[in-house]
């Protein structure tokens, strides 16, 4: 089955799940039946979140991936340079390149191979893992803008602190890498999901800024709670502006590349999201709302630490960690503990730890794991107090 066939099946699946209550009315509401509730979750989130929030988000993420020159952004980190500006650039680079997760570790390994200092490179890794664009959009839709803003701000802040701490603790960074791991990453650059850095076309910064601003405005408009006629009118006007920008400033090859990246993000994320939604609905049919409130209704240091430790211990594909955080709050867990879990799970996972151990060595990897858990737990406590 080729890419176009998979894409068509996924589009058909979105339409099918959004119209499912017309064929099976019982899926239009929550149910005690696990199967029905699983299908209800898919329908509810597809109609209320996937279509209005994530589809515009996929186009924005695709544009970021297609038009931002990764090599240009990361070249300032591939040097033996430290200082506040370097750390700030590392965090900014992480924000710009955090589209979806499958290119992160190869980029990080490439930076380390080229001589990036331990502090800025760890700041970059922390930020790029924790500020995934699509995941932040989904977080805002599911858990609220305030929750998503707290996740973004605290992730960037603690990325800077974690990088500085790593640089202070490992003053003599010998970088005794395992050559086999770098050779492995060199090989996977040629596979389908890893785009070559020099494939990104060069465009004027102002042109790109206007393009990203227009896509962001479409996303914001789609999420506003205004009348459907006003929403359609605003989106139509912004779409016309977008088409004019593409005609005047982008070639046909540019547009094809953008659409390819958008479809790739959609193909990568949507099947996992549907599976996660179904399982969440099944689980919630068995669980009782508020059932965890007696254990974690308020965020203590212990609860926040345990939530962060649980986050790094599991592997959850993008967006599924947001659904788990949503389930935790629905079951009565304080939002601070949910934030601690979400921040930890987005930055680290068991597979990531294993790969980092090969790239950094055990001492640096253990220190980084501790910092992620500690700062995620601290974030939960800060958010709970706020």
pLDDT at 81: 62
Average pLDDT (207-230) is 85
Grade residue 111 by pLDDT with cuts at 50, 70 and 90: confident
245-302, pLDDT tens digit by residue?
A: 999 888 888 898 899 888 888 888 888 889 888 988 888 887 765 555 555 556 677 8
pLDDT at 32: 83
> In this predicted structure, which of 135-144, 188-197, 221-230, 304-313 has the lowest mean pLDDT?
188-197
Higher model confidence: residue 26 or residue 179?
A: 26
Average pLDDT (126-147) is 87
pLDDT for 179 beyond 50: no
Domain limits, the chain: 33-203+250-385
pLDDT at 297: 55
315-366, pLDDT tens digit by residue?
A: 777 788 888 898 888 888 888 899 999 999 989 888 888 888 888 889 999 9
Q: Give this prediction's pTM.
A: 0.81
pLDDT at 194: 40
pLDDT for 178 beyond 50: no
Cα distance between residue 216 and residue 56, in whole Å: 8
pLDDT at 366: 93
CA distances from 213 to 207, 245, 324 (A): 10, 12, 31
pLDDT for 193 beyond 60: no
Contact 147, 379 (CB under 8 A): no
pLDDT at 315: 77
Contact 344, 356 (CB under 8 A): no
pLDDT at 298: 61
Grade residue 68 by pLDDT with cuts at 50, 70 and 90: confident
pLDDT at 243: 92
pLDDT at 8: 84
pLDDT at 21: 92
pLDDT at 150: 93
Average pLDDT (46-54) is 86
237-250, pLDDT tens digit by residue?
A: 999 999 999 998 88
Grade residue 89 by pLDDT with cuts at 50, 70 and 90: confident
């Amino acid at each position: 089955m080729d890419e176009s066939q998979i894409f068509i099946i996924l589009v058909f699946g979105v339409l099918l799940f959004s119209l499912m209550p017309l064929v099976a009315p019982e899926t239009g509401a929550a149910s005690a039946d696990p199967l029905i509730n699983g299908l209800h979750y898919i329908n509810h989130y597809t109609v209320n979140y996937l279509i209005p929030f994530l589809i515009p988000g996929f186009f924005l993420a695709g544009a970021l991936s297609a038009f931002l020159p990764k090599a240009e952004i990361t070249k300032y980190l591939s040097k033996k340079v430290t200082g506040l500006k370097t750390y700030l650039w590392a965090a900014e680079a992480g924000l710009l390149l955090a589209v979806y997760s499958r290119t992160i570790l190869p980029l990080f390994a490439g930076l380390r191979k080229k001589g990036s200092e331990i502090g800025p490179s760890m700041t970059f890794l922390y930020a790029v893992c924790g500020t995934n664009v699509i995941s932040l959009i989904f977080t805002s839709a599911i858990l609220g803008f305030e929750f998503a803003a707290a996740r973004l701000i605290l992730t960037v802040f603690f990325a800077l602190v974690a990088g500085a701490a790593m640089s202070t603790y490992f003053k003599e960074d010998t970088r005794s890498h395992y050559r086999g791991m770098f050779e492995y990453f060199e090989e996977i650059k040629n596979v389908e999901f890893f785009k070559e850095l020099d494939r990104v076309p060069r465009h004027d910064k102002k042109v790109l800024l206007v393009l990203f601003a227009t896509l962001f405005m479409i996303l914001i408009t789609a999420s506003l709670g205004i009348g459907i006629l006003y929403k359609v009118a605003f989106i139509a006007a912004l779409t016309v502006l977008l088409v004019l920008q593409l005609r005047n400033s982008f070639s046909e090859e540019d547009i094809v590349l953008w659409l390819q990246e958008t479809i790739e993000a959609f193909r990568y994320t949507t099947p996992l999201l549907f599976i996660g939604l179904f399982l969440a609905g099944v689980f919630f049919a068995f669980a009782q709302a508020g059932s965890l409130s007696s254990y974690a209704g308020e965020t203590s240091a212990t609860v926040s630490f345990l939530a962060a430790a649980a986050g790094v211990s599991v592997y959850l594909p993008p967006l599924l960690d947001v659904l788990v955080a949503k389930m935790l709050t629905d079951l009565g867990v304080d939002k601070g503990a949910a934030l601690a879990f979400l921040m930890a799970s987005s930055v680290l996972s068991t597979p990531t730890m294993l790969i980092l151990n090969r790239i950094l060595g055990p001492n640096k990897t253990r220190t980084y794991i501790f910092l992620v858990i500690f700062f995620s737990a601290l974030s939960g406590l800060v958010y709970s107090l706020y």
